[in-house]
Structure 1
Amino acid sequence: MYAAVRICQVGVLPALRTNTARSGLVGNAKLVYRNFANDARETFASRAARRKTLRERAMAPAGDTAFTIGKGALIGGSALGLGALCFYGLGLSNKEGAIDRAMLWPDYVKQRIKDTYLYFGGSIAFTAASAVAVFRSPTMLNLMTKNSFLAIGASIAAMIGSGILCQSIPYKPGVGAKQMAWMLHTAVVGAVVAPICFLGGPILIRAAWYTAGVVGGLSTVAACAPSEQFLHIGGPLAIGFGAVFAASLGSMFLPPTTALGAGLYSISLYGGLLLFSAFLLYDTQRIIKAAERHPPYAPMPYDPVNASISIYLDTVNIFIRIATILAGGGNRRK
């Protein structure tokens, strides 16, 4: 009997242990599989939550961050401009600038620069007159204030087309086809910016005075700085222009009441103001260099109309952004 019990123990107990071990392995495998499935679901859910959170952050109500950064950048740029004006204006630079060579310029160089800035002043006058005329015409004003993509595209095409036409015609002194195309281009720009008159006379007058101060100060910096100090920033300016242009397009589709829309609007407003101020430095020195180095008896004469268009468009962009800021455009999230 005892031997039979031992035999049963020898035959049954190992089998029981084996089955128990197998049951434990199966249970552990099920537990591992269950945990793995739970981890996979949690990982997928967390990733989905992160994607949702990113979208929610982009479309969340706008805060003060974007506009605070934009204002800070503008203050920093203004301080840098004033510092450069004092530094170069006091003659602290070791290199000579255009203002140091002005006394040695031949008469034709002086006449070229004079003609360029006369056309620049005429462009501002024609643009202002065109804007006022369009603003006083209900039909034209209704056409310019349409927010349809067709109207916006037509306005952009008209500005670009008239600008290309003006710059493609050879320059001849006096009144000719070149001058007619120039007046047409400035009139088109004035018509496009006419809706800014809704801001009111006091704001526009203040913006005009501020713009005159900015343009005058930056032009003085460019004239006092070494001749090619700002001619090396053409590449960064082109990149910055692409960024501001993309931000301007994006702000057309995203309202500034959202976080992403406010960021794009801040780049377009404050970044654009800094960008076109830098463009003014670049274009001013480019005009001086072209006036000095263009051969006096070249087959194609120096073109003051084309030279003035660059600083004219810089000034228009600066004026629009200053007027928008004065009108409270930096707080459009409200």
Structure 2
Amino acid sequence: MLASRIFIKLPLVACVSAPTVGRGVATCLRPKVSVVVPALRYASQPSRIAAKRAAKSKTLKEMAATPADGSAISVGRGALAGAAAVGIGALCYYGLGMSKDVGALERAAMWPDYVRERVQSTYAYFGVGIASTAASAIAISRNPAIMARMMPKSWVGALGMMGLVMCSGFICMSVPYTEGVLGGKQLAWLAHSGLLGAVLAPMTLLGGQLLIRAAWYTAGVVGGLSCVAACAPSEKFLYIGGPLAMGLGVVIAASIGGMFFAPTTALGSGLYAISTYGGLILFSGFLLYDTQLIMKRAETYPIMPQRPYDPINAAMGIYMDTVNIFIRIAMILSNSSGGRRK
């Protein structure tokens, strides 16, 4: 019995101690190693692949839901500060006459009367559009019933309002202009600017003091950039239309993407920074471009054309630039510590 127990135990001992006993015992272990180990290896491969796939998918989800750490906002503020420094430097450079080229303001001294009238009428309609937008927003903010309907309940409603404003703008630009009378073009311009004011009416919930500050800051930005465009050479900023168009596509994509991602996540915070800070820089560049485009069109438009010069279409660019600059300044102020105290 004891011998049988020892016999029974010997194969186990031999197999366990095979690496230290010798080659003969290792030979008896080969069938076990060659059968068991590959089976375990092949059986573990699907589980390893599944684990890797699960880890990758989990990582992608975590990337979209990672909490924001404020780095995107810091980068946006730094880019905005750099753009402001460049703008101030350009104003000093061109305003002091350090450029060798003839500036647009110097060319304006040689304009004939009809060119001056075109530029003046363009900025007059620009002022009318801004006043109509502000009046419409204030009037709707004082009517709770209409105010509740103008607040979109979902991203579908927001996109619908954006599409409605775009359609009204296209209609306004397609109506022919008539001089000296209150025609369909002028009414379409008032309707478009009033509709945009109605869409912006929910911004009055940010507070009157904050919006007044945003309006003053917008006036300073628009005035400063207009001076830069006027002092710079007449076609200096007309060459940046292509890069501005590409940047506009990026800002629009970021604005739409921000509807689907919360700003408290890293991805949502990055999209918000692109839409807000990047959009402010972008539309500041558009204001430089559109200001010089107004002067260029006023100079080169024929004197006796089939259709008269259209100052409303010419003012559409700087009008939309100003509105977008105001919106982004108000958003920045509302998210700052001063805006929260208000």
Q: Which amino acid aligns with 1:307?
A: A
- For residues 58 and 194 of structure 2, what CA distance do their matches in structure 1 show? 48
1:27 matched to 2:40? The reply is: no
SS at 1:298 equivalent: coil
| 1:93 match | 99
TM (normalized to structure 2)?
A: 0.86
Q: 1:254, CA displacement in angstroms?
A: 1.2
Give the conservation status (yes or no) of the 8 Å contact 1:67–1:330.
no
Tell me how far apart the structure 1 counterparts of residues 249 and 191 of structure 2 sit (CA, whole Å).
27
Counterpart of 2:102, as a letter, is E
Instruction: Check conservation: 2:140, 2:147, Cα contact below 8 A.
Output: yes
Find 1:311's aligned residue among 318, 321, 337.
318
Contact kept? 1:241, 1:275, Cα under 8 Å:
yes
Between the aligned partners of 1:321 and 1:165, the Cα distance in structure 2 is: 26
> Within 1, Cα distance between the matches of 2:24 and 2:312?
98
Q: Counterparts of 1:234 and 1:48 in 2: how far apart (Å)? A: 46
For residues 170 and 24 of structure 1, do their structure 2 counterparts lie closer, same or farther at Cα, with a shift above 3 Å needed? same
Find the counterpart in structure 1 of residue 258 from structure 2.
251
CA 181–21 in structure 1, closer or farther in 2 if over 3 Å, else same: same
Q: Output aligned runs, 1:1-334, within 5 Å.
A: 24=30, 27-28=33-34, 31=37, 34-35=40-41, 38=44, 41-42=47-48, 44-149=50-155, 151-174=157-180, 175-328=182-335
RMSD: 2.4
> CA shift at 1:27, angstroms?
2.6
Stretches of structure 1 that go unaligned for 5 or more consecutive residues are 1-16
Output the amino acid matched with 1:232. Y
Corresponding residue SS for 1:253: coil
Write the letter of the residue equivalent to 2:279. G
Compared CA separation, residues 21 and 321, structure 1 to 2 (3 A): same
In the superposition, relative to structure 1, how do residues 330 and 159 fare at CA in structure 2: closer, same or farther (>3 Å)? farther
Q: SS state of the match for residue 104, structure 1? A: coil
Cα distance change on mapping 1:192 and 1:22 into 2, 3 Å: same
CA distance in 1, matches of 2:26, 2:156: 79
Change (3 A) 1:34 1:180: same
In the alignment, the residues of structure 2 paired with residue 244 and residue 293 of structure 1 have an alpha-carbon distance, to the nearest angstrom, of: 32
- The worse-fitting range, judged by mean Cα deviation, of 220-229 and 202-211 is 220-229
Q: Distance in 2 between matches of 1:136 and 1:162?
A: 24
1:169 is displaced (CA, Å) by 0.9
- What CA distance in whole angstroms lies between the structure 1 residues aligned with 2:54 and 2:295? 58
Contact 1:59–1:260 under 8 Å retained in 2: yes
CA distance in 2, matches of 1:143, 1:321: 23
Counterpart-to-counterpart distance in 2, 1:329 and 1:142:
26
- What secondary structure does 2:238 align onto? coil
Deviation at 1:290, TM superposition (A): 0.6
Contact 2:155 2:259 survives alignment (8 Å): no
Distance of aligned partners of 1:271 and 1:56 in 2 relative to their CA distance in 1, 3 Å threshold: same
The 8 Å contact of residues 62 and 257 in structure 1, kept in 2 or not, is answered as: yes
Q: Give the Å deviation of 1:46.
A: 3.3
Q: Which moved more, 1:60-69 or 1:304-313?
A: 60-69
